[in-house]
Structure 1
Amino acid sequence: MADFTIPTVDLSPFFEDPGDQSRQKKADDAIEIIREACSHYGFFQVVNHGVPEDLMRRALELSRAFFECSYEDKLKCRPYPGAPLPAGYSKQPDNSPDKNEYLLMFPPGSSLNIYPDYPPELREVLEQVFTYMAKTGMLLEDILNECLGLPKNFLRGYNADRSWDFMVALRYFEATEHENNGISEHEDSNCITFVFQDEVGGLEVRKNGVWIPLVPKKGHLVVNIGDVIRVLTNNKFKSATHRVVRSKGQFRHSYAFFYNLQGDKVVEPLPQFTSDIGELPKYRGFLYKEYQQLRLRNKTHPPSRPEDVIHITHYAIPTAL
């Protein structure tokens, strides 16, 4: 067993009176822990994050009940035709290396959330969770802004459009005798991802070539940095490599909230991490929606060869790495 624990950060100082001197010390300590985690492996956990623990628990109960419905009933919530991402119920293709089914939703009120026969209480709870998660995303974005020494509100201005955020409720199938992969190792393509999981666990992060399990803890949110932050910082902050391992005899339930980027934004290393400090950019610029489409294709049409799976290295400048 590796001697390593994912750090846990208390976010309560960021909800307190900013004029309180003791509050500032606690906030500075939290910022330093997050800066260190993002610089080395891109993963940490947060508590006192503003999302009510009872709401998280109820969301898991309701999604568990939904996924226990018959396949025919779940198909009543199948994706709305024409959506850029499949809002509603979906299941991974049979030939996919990933073994899960999920409900995907966009921000409350989005026209992309139009699908029939959605369980009313589940919809209401998901919308509440979504709203809280978006607020936590903005808070973490501001904290990352400070960790990086960027001008005040820089990241918030760069990423002001929340319409591309989305959230998934997931159920991973039981492991079989010969296969226990739930979701293959990968890095997230977005800015910041938040995860909460049931007691089954299975989420793991790779650090220095070793897979570290994240033991589920009530009220905790797992936070990982995505490829957008990795590129903007020219690899100063890491996008975490992670996976899900399934358990025998148990389904795993979790939620993942993707604090995203508007699709028409250009993603490229910022001058603060390149020309301003004499460093060459490690990535060429690209439209975020282009990358999102390539990553989505990984899911809908899984490549037959692992080397054909698209990662952020698709945009890497070889001489700069």
Structure 2
Amino acid sequence: MVSSSIPTVDLSPFFTVGDEDGKQKARDLINQACSEYGFFQIVNHGVPIDLMNRAMKLSKTFFQNPAEEKIKSSPDSGATLPAGYSRQPDHSADKNEYLLMFSPGSSFNVFPSNPPEFREVLDEIFTYFSNTGQLVESIITDCLGLPPNFLKEYNGDRSWDFMVAMNYFPATESENNGISEHEDGNCITFVLQDEVGGLEVQKNGQWIPVIPSEDTLVVNISDVIHVLSNNKFKSTTHRVVRPKARCRNSYAFFYNLQGDKWVEPLPQFTKEIGEPPKYRGFYYKDYQALRMRNKTHPPSKPEDAINITHYAIDLDLIS
């Protein structure tokens, strides 16, 4: 039977000197969650609760602005990266609008001026999310039994991380999809959702709702860790279901990877333990280009969208 909730992990021992038992308990929970769900929630994670609340309040205020005000924060038509305000086209399967930003100081960012304090809060919470990402990455390194700092040295360039503030429009009578079912293509994703909720995780064919709580962040393993660990840690299918009569707001922070990095199952999970690799190697930028094509040229059938299975090795053919 599928559990009705994903695990919640207390990270406070990692901010306390000497609490080794607490740290090991947290590692054990994360190890189990990443193996079974690909998702978990964290509390006492280092991001101040009042900052999370202010960021959510300001995001809601921004998205309540008239369209002509929000459009002032849209990226230039010739922008290399679409940082700033955007809205999904009416024909899109996903119904939302969003504000995308990269690391503080990035020349790609287009910040809103209304509300005036929004930029400062976005910069601040981005930095906290980045620090939390590095902490969770180090815990995952330990959970996978990799050498200390292995993932940090592999993925040390934080300039590729990005954050999205999202506003989901209320569901209609005929359609309630907020974000269609998918897996994330980066390394690790962190989500702060408001009290409306709507995030659901798939396990064994069932959808598990992730119940929001003011002091928690949702964490999910994404495709890069999934491949590096040769499926030991799962990049799990998830979606957002929009409620009726209410908007849903959230932040998603994508702990990312530099595009020129080579991604393939690590020897610790293949030849060193006698397991065949389940994926072909690839450059991360090539995979991202394929995922972007899903958005710019959507396939006629959703099942034809390219995901990490594009690189999967058919073990039956080589056995």
TM-score range, shorter chain: over 0.9
1:175 corresponding residue in structure 2: 171
1:202 corresponding residue in structure 2: 198
Please, what TM-score do these two structures have when normalized by structure 2?
Answer: 0.96
CA RMSD of aligned residues (A): 1.6
The SS at the match of 1:185 is strand
Q: Is the 8 A contact 2:280 2:311 kept in 1?
A: yes
Q: Is the 8 A contact 1:14 1:27 kept in 2?
A: yes
Match among 277, 297, 303 for residue 299 of structure 2: 303
Name the CA distance, whole Å, in 1 between partners of 2:279 and 2:46: 35
CA shift, 1:84, in A, is 4.3
Q: Structure 2 vs 1, CA of residues 169 and 251 (structure 1 numbering), >3 Å: closer, same or farther?
A: same
Per mean C-alpha deviation after superposition, the further-off stretch among 283-292 and 218-227 is 283-292
Gaps of 5+ in 2: none
Q: Is the 8 A contact 2:73 2:110 kept in 1?
A: no
User: Is 1:68 aligned with 2:64?
Assistant: yes
Please, what TM-score do these two structures have when normalized by structure 1?
Answer: 0.95
Name the CA distance, whole Å, in 2 between partners of 1:192 and 1:33: 17
Name the CA distance, whole Å, in 1 between partners of 2:115 and 2:33: 39
Gaps of 5+ in 1: none
CA shift, 1:301, in A, is 3.2
Give CA deviations for 1:12-42 in whole Å, capped at 9, x if unaligned. Answer: 100111xx2xx10010000000000101110
2:8 corresponding residue in structure 1: 8
Name the CA distance, whole Å, in 2 between partners of 1:93 and 1:304: 17
Q: Is the 8 A contact 1:10 1:48 kept in 2?
A: yes
Q: Is the 8 A contact 1:43 1:222 kept in 2?
A: yes
Name the CA distance, whole Å, in 2 between partners of 1:153 and 1:320: 35
CA shift, 1:311, in A, is 0.8
CA shift, 1:91, in A, is 0.9
Name the CA distance, whole Å, in 2 between partners of 1:177 and 1:267: 43
Q: Structure 2 vs 1, CA of residues 114 and 172 (structure 1 numbering), >3 Å: closer, same or farther?
A: closer
Q: Structure 2 vs 1, CA of residues 169 and 152 (structure 1 numbering), >3 Å: closer, same or farther?
A: same
Name the CA distance, whole Å, in 2 between partners of 1:283 and 1:219: 37
User: Is 1:104 aligned with 2:100?
Assistant: yes
Q: Would you say how many aligned residue pairs link Structure 1 and Structure 2? A: 317
CA shift, 1:256, in A, is 0.3
Q: Is the 8 A contact 2:112 2:118 kept in 1?
A: no
Match among 76, 84, 91 for residue 88 of structure 1: 84
Match among 139, 151, 154 for residue 150 of structure 2: 154
Give CA deviations for 1:191-235 in whole Å, capped at 9, x if unaligned. Answer: 100001111110010111110111110110000000000000010
The SS at the match of 1:113 is coil
Give CA deviations for 1:219-268 in whole Å, capped at 9, x if unaligned. Answer: 10000000000000010100021100000100000000000001110111
User: Is 1:30 aligned with 2:26?
Assistant: yes
Name the CA distance, whole Å, in 1 between partners of 2:100 and 2:298: 19
Q: Structure 2 vs 1, CA of residues 80 and 286 (structure 1 numbering), >3 Å: closer, same or farther?
A: farther
User: Is 1:261 aligned with 2:257?
Assistant: yes
Q: Is the 8 A contact 1:80 1:115 kept in 2?
A: no
